[in-house]
Structure 1
Amino acid sequence: MAGILYLCATPIGNLEDITFRVVRTLKEVDLIAAEDTRHSIKLLNHFEIRTKMTSYHEYNRVEKAKVLVEKLKEGKNIALITDAGTPGISDPGEELVKQCHEAGIQVTALPGACALVNALIISGQPTRRFCFEAFLPTDKKERKDILEQLKNETRTIIIYEAPHRLVRTLEELLELLGNRKMTLCRELTKKHESVFLSDIESILEYHKENPPKGECVLIIQGKSFQEIKEENQKSFLEMSLSDHMNIYMDQGYSKKEAMKMVAKDRGVGKRDIYQQLLEEE
């Protein structure tokens, strides 16, 4: 029989956040695949876990995943751990999981700490709907493209950032998203954990004078539906009524249907649109 891949969540700061089930599983599996074995050995030593480790990281994720899948096919049970938090979230684990599914290998997850969830629930921001961008890309064009896409995002936005890049990222967010309500979470679960709820501009100004320490999670308010409605209405009012009508009529709508939609776009009654069209004829 083939083995099982166990995705084991590890602490993001406080070692007491590991679960009994994860500790037991790490002791029982045949092999632990770790993002950084030098980092993970400290965790294993703390809990007296003697299981053999092998490295699995961003730079060997495709080829090493093939090796691990073969071991799983041979009946070995493998635990995957990341440097901190839940494997597969903003780390190379997703590649191994994909290859396991393709090979018919069973994958199961042992829940635990996850920085994005921890930050979101203590942020004071809306939690029902959110999008996770992890770390923004370093490529300038790709980075700007993603930020442009986020301008009209109505869900709460979650971004990871390193402390030495925080000020630069906040400057870009302020320029492209405007001065949104925002929460900055740092050093989650650690002794000096902090939660800074304010707005992008205030948080930026503070950290220009007080360089941040520790990994950061940015929780940013999404754009309200009312803001989007007002912006759309403004753009419609800037075009001529005939051009606005043609948008819908070119899509195959009748004149009557188009008038109804135009009236809704402009925030007026259908009778007003009909009267204006008569005056333009």
Structure 2
Amino acid sequence: MEAPLMEPGPLDAGLYIVATPIGNLGDITRRAVETLDRCALVACEDTRVTGKLLNLLGLHKPLRRYDDHASDVAREALLSEMAEKAVVLVSDAGTPLISDPGYRLVRDARARGIVVTSIPGPSALVTALSMAGLPTDRFMFAGFLPAKDKARGDVLAELAAVPATLVFYDTGPRLVASLDAIARCLPGREVAVARELTKLHEECRSGTAQDLAEHYTAHPPRGEIVLLIGPPGPPVAPEDDVIEAELRAALAEMSTSQAAGKVAKAHGLDRKTLYARALEINGELKG
């Protein structure tokens, strides 16, 4: 499909969300370059990083810092400007708002009737998913894993039963601790580490969390990292004697129907079969 060229001249007023390369300058889209060329102002996390990108593209635009620490006053100033001219929002790399600032700005712009346009492009999340070899029919992106051990373990425990590939962002200094936590909390899961994406030393390594932790302990990683965890396998049915014991314990506290329902729900078993066995147990107890 042939991409239409943009009309020459300034863009219409509004907010333009522009994805930028995550490592390889060749990944920037023609539409992104044209939008940056025709906008009136660029809001960015770090003016030095974005200034370098614009210089490489041969562009010169006014830059305004806008990050997670930006004040309400700074956001209001940008909203006022985009009501009259084209304001571009970029992050340091990749697609804005994906674990990057911008959510409040976009929400407030839409609430005020300001046109918001997204110019899609590179994303570390999607790039990693496409090359990791883990299921992609369902995935859950959960941002950065917490830095502290307890909080990290709590998040992993909370997401353990989600029937999807889990995706996190991480950093080199914290990766081994994250892998150790995954080995403890989610043993047996397939894990992938994608790093230096689109760059010269791009790597996507998969295996168990324990094996990967040993590798990266010996070879400390650099750069930003995408950490992926495969979905849980099918539940393993407990032994018959365990089910029997749980049914008997439940029957001591509730009705036959409730006991069968409780044990069936806990293990994903057939309720009718358990109800029949619960009736037999009641008959034995009364006999």
How high is the TM-score relative to the length of structure 2?
Answer: 0.85
Name structure 1 gaps, 5 residues minimum: 250-254
Q: Are residues 256 and 137 of structure 1, via their aligned partners in 2, closer, same or farther at CA, if it must alter by over 3 Å?
A: closer
Q: Are residues 238 and 138 of structure 1, via their aligned partners in 2, closer, same or farther at CA, if it must alter by over 3 Å?
A: farther
Does residue 130 in structure 1 map to residue 139 in structure 2?
Answer: yes
Aligned length: 271
Does residue 55 in structure 1 map to residue 60 in structure 2?
Answer: no
Deviations 1:94-124 (A, max 9, x none): 1211111222211110000000000001000
1:87 is matched with 96
1:252 is matched with none
Deviations 1:33-77 (A, max 9, x none): 01111011111001111121111111115432221111122x111
Answer whether contact 1:156 1:219 (CA < 8 A) is retained: yes
Does residue 40 in structure 1 map to residue 43 in structure 2?
Answer: no
Q: CA deviation at 1:246?
A: 5.6
Q: Are residues 97 and 231 of structure 1, via their aligned partners in 2, closer, same or farther at CA, if it must alter by over 3 Å?
A: farther
CA distance in structure 2 between the partners assigned to 1:31 and 1:122 by the alignment: 35
How high is the TM-score relative to the length of structure 1?
Answer: 0.87
Deviations 1:128-179 (A, max 9, x none): 1011111123355543321220222221000111111111111112111223
Q: CA deviation at 1:181?
A: 0.5
CA distance in structure 2 between the partners assigned to 1:193 and 1:200 by the alignment: 20
Name structure 2 gaps, 5 residues minimum: 1-11
Q: Are residues 234 and 138 of structure 1, via their aligned partners in 2, closer, same or farther at CA, if it must alter by over 3 Å?
A: farther
Task: Give the counterpart of 1:241 among 244, 248, 251.
Answer: 248
Residue type of the alignment partner of 1:65: R
CA distance in structure 2 between the partners assigned to 1:16 and 1:58 by the alignment: 28
Task: Give the counterpart of 1:8 among 18, 21, 25.
Answer: 18
Q: CA deviation at 1:211?
A: 0.8
Answer whether contact 2:68 2:101 (CA < 8 A) is retained: yes
Residue type of the alignment partner of 2:278: I
Q: CA deviation at 1:238?
A: 5.0
Does residue 18 in structure 1 map to residue 28 in structure 2?
Answer: yes
- The worse-fitting range, judged by mean Cα deviation, of 8-17 and 263-272 is 263-272
Please state whether the residue corresponding to 2:237 is helix, strand or coil: helix
Answer whether contact 2:257 2:275 (CA < 8 A) is retained: no
Task: Give the counterpart of 2:109 among 83, 92, 100.
Answer: 100
Q: CA deviation at 1:230?
A: 3.4
